[in-house]
Amino acid sequence: MQTWDQKQPIYQQLADLLAAQLLDGEPLEGDAMPSVRALAGRYLLNPLTVNRALQALGDEGLLENRRGLGLYVTTGARERLKAAERERFLNTEWPRLRERLRRLDIGAEQLQWEDKA
C-alpha cells in the first residue's frame, strides 16, 4: 500500500510515482494509461486527485488524450522524462550528495556502484 507524506500535494506525489513507472517502461509509449477509476482504486485516492495527477503529466507532454479512448503515453515520453530527471539530479541532488560525502569523508573508492549480488 502506498503511503503519502505531508511535504507535497498528494496529486504531485502520484504524478511523480506514475512518472517513475513511465521511466521503467510501464506502460509503454503508445499504450493506454489505466483509467482514473482504476488508479483511484489501486491507490485508494479520490478520482479528482488522480485526474489532477494525470493532468500534470499531460501538461508535461507525457500523456495525450485521445477523445473517447482515454489517455495514452506519448512517443518520446520516456526519453523526455529521463533527460529531465538527469538534469534535476545533476543540478540539484548531486551537489548536495557530493557535499554530504565530503563532510563524511567518504571517497569514491568506498562507494559501490554495482551490486555484488
- What would the mean pLDDT of 19-31 be, rounded to a whole number? 96
Q: What is the pTM of this model?
A: 0.82
CA-based nearest residue to 26, from 12, 47, 42: 42
Kindly write down the DSSP assignment for every residue of 46-99, as one continuous string. -HHHHHHHHHHHHHTTSEEEETTTEEEEPTTHHHHHHHHHHHHIIIIIHHHHHH
CA distances 39 to 12, 35, 108, Å, are: 14, 6, 41
Residue 115: pLDDT over 90:
no
Which domains does the chain carry? Answer: 1-107 (1.10.10.10)
Half-sphere exposure (CA, 13 Å, Cβ side) for 30? Answer: 0
Residue 117: pLDDT over 90:
no
Residue 60 CB coordination number (10 Å): 15
- At 56-111, the pLDDT tens digits run 999 999 999 999 999 999 999 999 999 999 999 999 999 999 999 999 999 988 88
